[in-house]
Amino acid sequence: MDLWHRLVRFRALRGRALLRTVVALRAGCPVNVPDSSEVLVRSAIRLLAPVVVTGVLLPAPVHAHASLVESNPEDGQVLEAAPDVVSLTLNEPVAEPAFVVISGAGGEVETAAAEIDGRTVTARVAEELEGGEYTLSYRLISADAHAVTGTLEFSIEQSAPPTTPPPAPTPTPTDEAAPTVAADDSGADRDRLLVVLGLFALFMAGLVYYVRARLQRSAGDREV
């Protein structure tokens, strides 16, 4: 039975007792009327007793331990560029010491000492992270001396290789030598023509000499 029902019942009982008192007075019977202060004390005891008993019997509230409420980068996040700083935030203030470790395919990454600012812990990354998957491990101590540990996974996109324009076509040796070959061919043809003309001229000269010699010999034979 809750407090409200008890109060209603108390008022009903009080009304009945008052009615009995009025009836007894009308009948001429002696009535023992309690003092008003006594009535108030009894009423207060009846009203507060359930509340006191309930407060004693109920267990004390259990306070929740500290936990991670925010991180940068987030668990499972894919980053376009390597982060310079990582941060972790609890729901309670953080106490010394705080440890933050980042590891990747090449092993543990060098980071500066973790810094505490209220509920947030930050650690600066001392080297440039390449594309790939990384694990962030942490161990923090909350103000109530409770250790908060865990790991986060994040990755960095692989950078695309720079694109270079295709090289300009270079002239082939055949293309460069073609005009020279053509020039050489025309010179050779001219030389052959000169040779042929020279031979023809010698042939004609020899033929003329032979004909003249025959004519002279024929003329000498006739004179004899």
Q: Are 116 and 140 in contact (CB under 8 A)?
A: no
Q: What topology does CATH give the domain 68-156?
A: Immunoglobulin-like (2.60.40)
Amino acid at position 199, single letter: L
Interval 157-186: pLDDT, tens: 987 666 666 777 776 665 555 555 555 666
Q: Answer yes or no: is pLDDT of 56 > 70.
A: no
Give the best-scoring range by mean pLDDT among 31-35, 36-40, 149-153: 149-153
Give the best-scoring range by mean pLDDT among 2-16, 20-34, 48-62, 72-86: 72-86
- The residue count of the chain comes to 224
What value does the mean pLDDT take over residues 29-55?
A: 55
- The rounded distance, in Å, linking the Cα atoms of 120 and 148 is 13
Q: Which residue has the tokens 């705080």?
A: 98
- The rounded distance, in Å, linking the Cα atoms of 55 and 49 is 10
Supply 50's token pair. Answer: 């359930």
- Tell me what the pLDDT averaged over the chain comes to: 76
Q: Are 176 and 142 in contact (CB under 8 A)?
A: no
Domain residue ranges in the chain: 3-57, 68-156
Q: Answer yes or no: is pLDDT of 120 > 80.
A: yes
Supply 96's token pair. Answer: 């010394």
The reported pTM is 0.46
Tally Cβ neighbours within 10 Å of residue 2. 8
Interval 71-106: pLDDT, tens: 999 999 999 999 999 999 999 999 999 999 999 988
Supply 59's token pair. Answer: 């267990």
Q: Answer yes or no: is pLDDT of 43 > 80.
A: no
Return the pLDDT at 171: 65
What value does the mean pLDDT take over residues 203-216?
A: 81
What value does the mean pLDDT take over residues 59-78?
A: 80
Return the pLDDT at 58: 52
What value does the mean pLDDT take over residues 93-120?
A: 93
Confidence of residue 108 (pLDDT cuts 50, 70, 90): very high
Q: In three state form, how does the secondary structure of the chain look? A: CCHHHHHHHHHHHHHHHHHHHHHHHHHCCCCCCCCHHHHHHHHHHHHHHHHHHHHHHCCCCCCCCCCEEEEECCCCCEECCCCCEEEEEECCCEEEEEEEEEEECCEEECECCCEEECCEEEEEECCCCCCEEEEEEEEEEECCCCEEEEEEEEEECCCCCCCCCCCCCCCCHHHHHHHHHHHHHHHHHHHHHHHHHHHHHHHHHHHHHHHHHHHHHHHHHHHC
Amino acid at position 104, single letter: G
Q: With the CA atoms of 124, 127, 131 and 135 taken in that order, what torsion angle do they form, in degrees rounded to the nearest 10? A: -50
